[in-house]
Structure 1
Amino acid sequence: MIRLIRTRTLDALRTDRAAQTATDATIQSEVTIQRLQQELADARADTARAEGERDALRAQHLLDAEDRVALRMLLRTARKQTATLDRVYVLFRLGQLHSIHASQDSAEATAESQGAARDRWTATPPGAAMPPASEVQWRIQPLPVGRAPA
């Protein structure tokens, strides 16, 4: 079977098809543009997030370095103090542990800042019996510092 189509109709069909193809291509291009714009926005967000993490890690690294320096300094200071420290002075208030000090003077100063009388410090003679701790408002007791036996 043969079909006859007029030239004008054929031209109109070709024009419609070309227009439809152009419309399809335009729609496809717009979809592609939207997809690429979304991918670009996602990539920018990922980049911003990564930069934020990088900055936080840099700050943490610097803080860690500063912490290490401070800890080394404190360790050095503690080692120097314990190398020469052979006893500590324990401050008791009414028999309860109040604080520990490196010198008797600092223990007295702490007790005085808490209300102990400045002129009421006395020493118990060696070998003498000490009054019960609960009867003494403030007591400073020296304790030797040493290593535990191995």
Structure 2
Amino acid sequence: MITIARTRTLRALRDALTQAEEAAEAARATAEQHRQDAQRTTDSAIRAETALETLRAKHAALVADAARDAGELEALRAQQLLDTEDRAVLRLLLRTTRKTISEQQRVFVLLRRGAFHSVHGTREAAEKAAERDGAHPDGWFTQGSPGTDCPATDVLWRIQPTDIGTGSQ
């Protein structure tokens, strides 16, 4: 069967075809534009993710450095406190030593059979030290006392007073 189309209808169909082709071309251009936008967005997201990973790695390194520095700081503070305490103890010992030296002009040397045993600040301290090592409490000879002219090696325990010099001689 033969279809008869009028010129007006044919022209309307051709115009509609042209409009459809133009609309399709515009849709293709819009689709291409959207594809390019999507590609740029994907690339931007990848760059942002890479930058984020780099920043996280730097952050972890900085946290580790900060923890190490905090530990070192704590150790240095402890050492400073120890040094301060040491200096205080040394000053106290120095003061005590200077005071003892300035007050004490004599020491008592404890001899056992003429051989050096120990040095003490008082006669009583020397006697106690000898008694701890087995000396009889009543068997003392002090050099220079009457009846002590026997040789030092013949006497089991002997206390010998000795003058000490001060730095001002």
TM range (shorter): 0.7 to 0.9
TM-score, length of structure 2 as denominator length: 0.68
1:144 corresponding residue in structure 2:
163
Q: Is the 8 A contact 2:110 2:126 kept in 1?
A: yes
Please tell me whether the aligned partners of residues 124 and 130 of structure 1 are also in contact (alpha carbons under 8 angstroms).
Answer: no
Please state whether the residue corresponding to 1:98 is helix, strand or coil.
strand
1:91 to 86, 89, 110: 110
Which stretches in structure 2 are left out of the alignment for 5+ residues?
A: 1-23
After TM superposition, the structure 1 stretch with the greater mean CA deviation from structure 2, 45-54 or 78-87, is 45-54
1:109 matches 2:91: no
Mean CA deviation greater in 74-83 or 140-149: 140-149
Give the letter for the 1:72 counterpart: R
Structure ranking higher on relative contact order (CA contacts 8 Å, 6+ apart): 1
Q: Distance in 2 between matches of 1:18 and 1:129?
A: 119
Structure 1 runs not aligned, ≥5 long: 1-5
1:13 CA drift (Å): 5.3
Size of the aligned set, in residue pairs, is: 144
- Which one has a larger percent helix, Structure 1 or Structure 2? 2
Give the Å deviation of 1:126. Answer: 5.2
Please, what TM-score do these two structures have when normalized by structure 1?
0.75
The answer to whether the 8 A contact 1:94-1:137 is kept is yes
- 1:110-129 correspondence runs (5 A): 110-125=129-144, 129=149
Task: Return the alpha-carbon distance in structure 2 between the equivalents of residues 41 and 69 of structure 1.
Answer: 42
Retained in 2: the 8 A contact 1:112–1:118?
yes
CA RMSD of aligned residues (A): 2.9
Query: What percent identity do the matched residue pairs reach?
Result: 41
Q: 1:79 Cα shift?
A: 1.5
Q: 2:87 corresponds to which residue?
A: 68
Secondary structure in 2 aligned to 1:56?
helix
1:131 is matched with 151
For the pair shown, the structure with the greater C-alpha radius of gyration is 2
Name the amino acid aligned to 2:67: A
Shift in Å, 1:90: 1.4
| Residues 1:42 and 2:86 are matched in the alignment | no
Q: Which amino acid aligns with 2:68?
A: R
Q: CA offset at residue 92 of structure 1?
A: 2.5
Q: CA 1:118 to 1:126, structure 2 compared with 1: closer, same or farther past 3 Å?
A: closer
1:120 partner SS: coil
